[in-house]
Amino acid sequence: MNASPASDCALATERYRLSTPCTLLTVSPSLAALHAARFQNLQPETAGNLTVTHCSHCGAYAFDGQGSTLLVRRRKKKKRSEYPQRVYRRVCHMCGYIMDTPMPCLHTTTITQSDAASSSPTLKRAPDSETTDPSLDKSDLPSKQEIPSLQTSTLPTPTDPPLPPKPKRSQEKKAQTLREMLSRDRRREEIKKAQKKHDTQGGLATFLKGL
Q: Are residues 101 and 196 in the same domain?
A: no
> Residue 141: pLDDT above 70?
no
> Residue 32: pLDDT above 80?
yes
- The number of beta carbons lying within 10 Å of the beta carbon of residue 66 is 17
Residue 150 forms part of a structural domain: no
Give per-residue pLDDT as tens, 151-180.
555 666 666 666 666 667 778 888 889 889
Residue 52 forms part of a structural domain: yes
Structural domain including 180 reads 175-211
Of 211 and 33, more confident: 33
Cα separation values, 187 from 92, 177, 199, Å: 97, 15, 18
Residue 124 forms part of a structural domain: no
What stretch of H or E contains 146?
Answer: none
Of 136 and 31, more confident: 31
Q: Are residues 104 and 183 in the same domain?
A: no
Q: Are residues 12 and 99 in the same domain?
A: yes
Q: Are residues 103 and 179 in the same domain?
A: no
> Residue 100: pLDDT above 70?
yes
> Residue 120: pLDDT above 60?
no
Q: Are residues 102 and 9 in the same domain?
A: yes
Cα–Cα dist 153/193, whole Å: 80
Residue 122 forms part of a structural domain: no
Residue 24 backbone class (left: φ over 0; alpha: ψ -120 to 50; beta: rest): alpha
pLDDT of residue 1: 46
Residue 77 forms part of a structural domain: yes
pTM: 0.37
Structural domains counted in the chain: 2
What mean pLDDT is predicted for residues 54-60? 83
Could you give the count of Cα atoms lying within 13 Å of 52 in the half-sphere of its Cβ? 5
Residue 13 forms part of a structural domain: yes
**Residue ending a domain, choose from 108, 133, 160:** 108
pLDDT of residue 115: 52
Structural contact between residues 21 and 50, judged by C-beta atoms closer than 8 angstroms: yes
Residue 22 forms part of a structural domain: yes
Residue 145 forms part of a structural domain: no
| Residue 192 identity | K
pLDDT of residue 23: 81
